[in-house]
Amino acid sequence: MEQESDLVTGEAVVLDVRAAKLASRGLAMMIDVVLQLISLFVAVLVLSQVAAFGDEALALTLFLVTLVLIMVGYPVIFETLSRGRTLGKMALGLRVVRTDGGPVRFRHALVRGLAGFFIDFWALGLLGVVAVVTSLLSPNGRRVGDYLAGTLVIRERMPAARTPYVGMPPQLAYWASQLDLTRLPNDLALAVRQYLSRTSELRPEAAEALGYGLAQQVAATVGAPVPPGVPAWAYLSAVLAERRRRDQAKLQSAVQYAPPAAVPGAHYAPPAQPYPQPPAPAPVTQPPPEPENPFAPPG
């Protein structure tokens, strides 16, 4: 069974996530326990060879160290390196996060691992009875280690990676064509694009709050406020669509008028048609001799 959990980020935005309850967490724990028992069995086989040579004290010491490393180090190492996932959680699509939605670090994984060994499951946990009772009483399915570390296990959503399509609302096409988008920074445009791609994953009130804040930032940059009656997502979508259209037009014109690139090693070939020759100059004609002046004195 799953339940919605309200995680509040540092920006006071409520995220809608699914808290993993006892069934999914128990199955993931069983997978991890099986892997730990297999590793422990292999370690016992190796250490038995050490005890066969007569050094039983060394074999017992190594066994205790190996036991702690497998039962405590396994979840700590995996949750630290994979940001909150062991092999069992990976198989079930679960992840450990902080109560504010951030990724766990080594100190969170260490507290969870030590509490799991000594309180929740093995030493004082009566083979998991403490963890089961605590998880059933918790509204988010948290065990003692989660309360001590300030963590929560959630069901991780893994949507297919895709590029969000930003369309132009037909009612805003002419209005957007008159905007001055030269001052719109790339980081703000990227934030708007990420918001539009995650709108369906947020609660309506969270999506509206984030959209309003981004729309105010874009309006202050481009100098065009949100038209009356237009939702924030439509305003942001129109701005991004117009920006993309202008960028594509610039790119197309640059490719169309770019000179051909020189190919290394290519030889010059004369054109198939000869270059047009300039017209031949017109022949210079001598002016006709002027008629002799009849009134000139003889030479």
**Residue 38 reports pLDDT greater than 60:** yes
> Angle at CA 111, nearest 5°, toward 87 and 116?
60
- Region 103-118 average pLDDT: 94
In this structure, are 147 and 22 located in the same domain?
yes
Do 117 and 179 belong together in one domain?
no
Bridge partners, 154 (sequence order): 19, 95
Hey, which bits of the chain come out as E strands?
2-8, 14-20, 94-98, 151-155
Q: What is the pLDDT of residues 138-179, one digit of tens each?
A: 988 899 999 999 999 998 854 444 445 567 888 888 998 889
Contacts of 113 (CB under 8 A, 6+ apart): 72, 73, 75, 76, 79, 145
pLDDT over 70 (residue 98): yes
Query: If we measure between CA atoms, which residue out of 35, 42, 43, 49 comes closest to residue 64?
Result: 43
> Into how many domains does the chain fold?
2
CB count in 10 Å sphere of residue 297: 5
Q: Is residue 35 part of a domain?
A: yes
A 10 A CB-CB count for 98 gives 16
For residue 271, the 8-state DSSP code is: -
Q: pLDDT band at 10, cuts 50/70/90?
A: very low
- Determine, yes or no, domain membership for 32: yes
Question: Would the CA dihedral through 25, 31, 33, 35 be positive or negative?
Answer: negative
Asked whether residue 280 carries a pLDDT value surpassing 80, the answer given is no
Whether 78 has a pLDDT exceeding 90, the answer reads: yes
Whether residue 198 is contained in a domain is answered as yes
Confidence of residue 100 (pLDDT cuts 50, 70, 90): confident
Which among 100, 102, 99, 138 is positioned nearest to 120, based on CA atoms?
138
Predicted confidence at residue 77, as pLDDT, reads: 95
Question: Are 26 and 144 within one domain?
Answer: yes
What is the tens place of the pLDDT at every residue in 171-202? Answer: 888 998 889 888 899 888 888 888 888 887 77
Domain final residue pick, 236, 255, 274: 255
Mean pLDDT computed over 26-32: 94
Residue 36: closest CA among 82, 72, 81: 72
Domain of 218 in residue numbering reads as 170-255
Tokens of 248: 């594509």
90 occurs within a structural domain: yes
Name the one residue in this structure whose structure tokens are 């008028």. 257
pLDDT tier, 86 (very low <50, low <70, confident <90, very high otherwise): very high
Q: Which residue, 129, 155, 181, sits at the end of a domain?
A: 155
Among the listed ranges 136-150, 194-208, 242-256, 279-293, which one has the minimum average pLDDT value? 279-293
Task: Indicate whether 37 and 117 sit together in one domain.
Answer: yes
Which residues, at least 6 apart from 129, have a Cβ–Cβ distance to it below 8 Å? none
Residue 225 domain flag:
yes
Q: Are 96 and 217 within one domain?
A: no
| Phi, psi for 3 (deg, rounded to 5) | -145, 145
Q: Which residues contact 40 (CB under 8 A, 6 or more apart)?
A: 66, 67, 70, 71
Amino acid at 112: R
Q: Quick one: 48 and 129 in the same domain?
A: yes
Question: Is residue 79 included in any domain, yes or no?
Answer: yes
184 and 105 in a single domain? The answer is no
pTM (predicted TM-score): 0.52
* Coil, helix or strand at residue 32: helix
pLDDT over threshold 70, residue 76: yes
Separation between Cα atoms, residue 181 and residue 169, nearest integer Å: 17
170 DSSP 8-state letter: G
